[in-house]
Amino acid sequence: MLSYGKRVPQYESDGQRVTLRIYDGVFDRPLAQMVAKWNAEGRDIQLDALLVLAYMKEHPYIDAKRASGLLQLEREDARGVRDYLSIPGKGILERRGRTQAATFHLAKGIARDLLGRAAYTRTKAIAQSRFAEIVRQYVRDHDSITNRECRELLGLGDSASAQVEASRYLKKWSASTGFLKAEGTPPRVRYRLRTTLLGNVLSKLRGQ
């Protein structure tokens, strides 16, 4: 079913019996042709790859949390599968960022063949629109972020222009209405989540 681009079967259990739901959807010719081509080339198409392809048809990216749920694996195991699927020149995914908060998108050739010529550019634009969300989650997980860590996380590179671009984002997000606050002086500035009055109240309630 996955090889033909149909929905993933759903298994449900009430403790006494298991119900399998099989969905009959529209035949996805591009995906079927892609899988047939890989089979003809002798490529081993694992279930994990088909699950990721099915997911990526409807979502612009996948991260560790989503991969873990999709593949029913612990996060570290899911990261290993995801990293394998993003081997440069061979994988079906492209990595954006180098930290644990990295996101993965369909590789250019795969996105073109599966979703059309505009898909790759579109997913890149969507990824950029998620920069704030990605940085917010990173700071939640790691307490703070620097300009260098921000560039690495967002895949901006190490050029002077990349440093300026990261600074622009961080300055915007640490303005009076932003979700970050800056600590320290250049070049040793770290950014942490801004604590709101509501956040303080919730933190105190959780500690009781």
Could you give all domains of the chain from N- to C-terminal order, each with its CATH number? 2-129 (1.10.10.2340), 132-203 (1.10.10)
pLDDT one-digit tens code per residue, 10-39:
889 998 999 999 887 667 788 888 888 888
Q: Note the pLDDT tens digit of each residue in 165-182.
A: 899 999 999 998 899 999
pTM of model > 0.85: no
Q: Residue 29 and residue 8: Cα distance in Å, rounded? A: 17
Is 107 a residue whose pLDDT tops 80?
yes
Q: What average pLDDT does range 62-88 have in this prediction?
A: 84
**pLDDT tens digits, 149-166:** 888 777 777 778 888 989
Average pLDDT, the chain: 81
